[in-house]
Chain A
């Protein structure tokens, strides 16, 4: 029984539901598995406060209970719990340093990095409308904004490796007056988060170029290189803001109109106030200032609608648990429990959870901000919101109709919000600098 577990040195799973076959343990496992969401949340909070107060024993006891609830192949609550437990374990291995800390030290934690092929990634982003919603809304807004322009340059800052652009290229190809020339630039740096691709940026761009050529859209693809003198950290990079986003590294051209697309991006820019500088701004604000200075025609900002960057661990646990049940629940409605796609998708969410719960300081790179807060930040920086037109709303609704019927949409204050069974999940917004000069 136990040798089965121990024999596998590379097993990363803390949960082994079918380990022991004695009647007592199956009884125990059975009723432990039936704790509901509220109990689990409280247990998580107890564990967290035990860790914070250095109470090893209590932490371990709670973890033991959670371990028996959790199952990465059970129902949504169990699956969610398994990822939370993993995150807490990662955290505890920092609180109580052990010889095995060597693998717990990196920001990627205990989870293996899984590389996908481009076609797999294309399927991945379509599993739920989670990403497609943002793509659709942004592309539609961009398409409207660049009406009448013949040369367009898109600065693409996202974690989904250009999955957004084929549909835009397709839409541009259908322009009655002919497509504009399109140039897409991506930074060479990307946060170390899933989804991971087995191709380089350049290779992805090559495929996109092929497609654009096929659709007869004049196309150029650039990867913005870092200047070789700067070294950038593995986690996130303030240097990135300065070195890669200058007009010279972007090679901005006079006759081109600039579009900036931030998709699941801003959350990776640290938000702590840097006390010593004159302006006293965070990296995130500095980034927005730089973007504003580039005078873009439109900036699309899409991200998940929750505040997961609070400094209090317990607050993060609660918010995270009450937000990330949404994709787990959505996946449950149409994929079987043992579906590989589902497990992989959930594992990627689990990696996010591990970072939010298990890490602090520089290593905690997931600092998500809700739509409302982001909107306020944009306004404070000097951006005006651009409303989504009727056509865009219709397109997005049409998209959602093709998915499971739990998905819906809200349109409030120039912000489109994807909802699952009424709960906010992803927001999409569009902005233009106050002083935009055409």
Chain B
């Protein structure tokens, strides 16, 4: 595989022709002679021998750039335009394949911060990289009218339009699914089904809005063979249908769905209900939800409901009541997006274990410092917290650690005040590290087998001693050196982007490779 060297972080093609540019031959100042690569099938790299191509954003976003001079019809490929020109009796020429050897091409994203900028995450086909670029880095110009989802690629939008709002499956609990298998799986385990199976053993009395018919149901009638539309709902619904003359197989709105939307209280109720079995469970559920139902009915207040809602003491009463007034059920409609039904509600049930969840990581686009410089800084940080432990500093929970913590904060507070090297201490204390004195740090060992220092950074109680000096330089050389070696050896390495060999040392005017 040929690396593309890109020290400035810009796409090479921008400087060259506007067409696709193949970066295998360096055409800028960066040396591009690649040492012969060992073939190695590393995971994550589809084909180590493939040619890596970076197209310009303009090329990727372009739709019809080849335009016929006669009729102004646009084409995505020159070949297609040429074939079209035949129709106008214009001279046409199809470009022949220049190289005899057919070489697999893979494409990288020109956007430097993108994960697909990395040759080992390259995509295998041109259409794929074009779509990726549009989707990820392009403007979302296509919008679905029904659900307001936006797409950058027209075919994505079209694919979405096929399923949006059409083939949606609804569970009794109110959740919507665009895929049948998700619906079936959910349904099998859903509380609504569990409750129905309880109820199927009881006698149901259904009050109708249309003239006082009473229907008694003991065993549920068998569900019909399923075809489109989706499989039938619970037996009680089937009973309701003939009574109310509603043929729809679905109940669009359902109170327990609303329960779920109401900050999770309904869910906890049903969850609690699910762990117990028996009729007491279901009645418990209904009674807790009756307050909700009452308020819902109060808000919609159509005339038709007043007849049927005697008291919301029976689940089927409510189903009946709601079913009879579909038109006014709008206020209760839930617009849950397809199968991500817990997308933002789960936060109320499961407070995230990491504090990070609540923080927004803002990435400051700062250039300048390379990884080497950062490691140097790590070494230089002079802090004198003798009791502080590195791992503690990383915020891991500790039993009986409260006093240690106080020690730490006092320690670093005093570091702040007393130590002249404020800049370094800011870094160290800000990140919660209490690292020992700078001279000890500088004496840290190298990667390759110098005698390791016995710094008591982890609070082990070992004697702290000075380490060998000069080890750190060896460390950096080894990193730079190992990168050179690695870059040569790894067929699927990322090396081309991030490590021009030896460039790692010190802040340089080139940006480190961005994500």
Residues of chain A having any CB pair with chain B under 8 Å = 1-3, 5-20, 22, 24-39, 41-43, 46, 49-50, 53-58, 60-65, 67-68, 71-78, 89, 92-93, 96-100, 102-103, 110-112, 114, 117-123, 125-127, 132, 135-136, 163, 165-167, 169-170, 174, 198-199, 203-204, 206-208, 210-211, 213-216, 306, 318-319, 322-323, 325, 329, 333, 335, 337-341, 343-344, 347, 399, 402, 405, 421-423
Contacts and interface: CB of A to CB of B under 8 A. Distances in A.
A30 B189 contact: no
Contact of B493 (A38, A111, A323, A421): A38
B375 interface: yes
A347 B475 CA distance: 33
Nearest to A21: B430
A228 to B, nearest CB: 25
Given A30-B364, A203-B275, A214 B193 contact: yes
Contact of A423 (B46, B131, B225, B353): B46
Contacts of A41: 494
A72 B356 contact: yes
A380 to B, nearest CB: 23
Contacts of B186: 119, 122-123
Contacts of B274: 117-118, 199, 203
Interface of B: 42-44, 46, 113, 115, 117-118, 120-121, 123-124, 128, 131, 135, 156, 159, 163, 173, 175, 178-179, 181-182, 184-191, 193-194, 196-197, 222-223, 225-226, 231, 267, 271, 274-275, 277, 339-344, 346-347, 350, 352-357, 359-369, 371, 374-375, 377-379, 389-392, 394-399, 401-402, 405, 408-409, 412, 423, 426-427, 429-433, 435, 441, 444-447, 449, 452-455, 457-460, 467, 475, 479, 482-483, 486, 493-495, 497-499, 512-515
Central interface residue in B182, B185, B398, B482, by most chain A CB within 10 Å: B185
Contacts of A63: 390, 394
Contacts of A68: 374, 431
Q: Say whether chain A's binding surface is mostly helix, strand, loop, or mixed.
A: helix
Contacts of B377: 28
Given A28-B427, A38-B495, A9 B409 contact: no
B430 A61 contact: no
A306 B460 contact: no
Given A99-B459, A208-B189, 13 more contacts: A2-B408, A22-B430, A25-B430, A36-B118, A43-B371, A46-B479, A72-B356, A75-B515, A118-B190, A123-B341, A322-B43, A341-B343, A405-B131
B188 A169 contact: yes
A89 B452 contact: no
Nearest to B392: A100
B179 A343 contact: no
Contacts of A127: 340
Contacts of B343: 335, 339-341
Contacts of B452: 53-58
A57 to B, nearest CB: 4
Contacts of A46: 447, 479
A203 to B, nearest CB: 7
A71 B429 contact: no
A37 B457 CA distance: 28
Provide the main secondary structure of the chain B interface: loop
Nearest to A306: B43
A28 B369 contact: yes
A207 B431 contact: no
A142 B176 CA distance: 28
A36 B426 contact: no
A364 B28 CA distance: 49
Given A122-B189, A123-B186, A3 B409 contact: yes
A11 B395 contact: yes
A367 B175 CA distance: 37
B348 to A, nearest CB: 9
Contacts of B355: 8, 11, 13, 16
A188 to B, nearest CB: 19
Interface centre among A8, A64, A75, A211 (most CB of B within 10 A): A64
Contact of B353 (A16, A112, A339): A112
Contacts of A169: 188
A49 to B, nearest CB: 7
14 contacts: A22-B430, A25-B426, A34-B113, A42-B486, A73-B360, A74-B361, A78-B515, A96-B460, A99-B399, A110-B397, A119-B175, A210-B194, A214-B196, A318-B43
A21 B486 CA distance: 37
A138 B499 CA distance: 45
B497 A24 contact: no
A9 B402 contact: yes
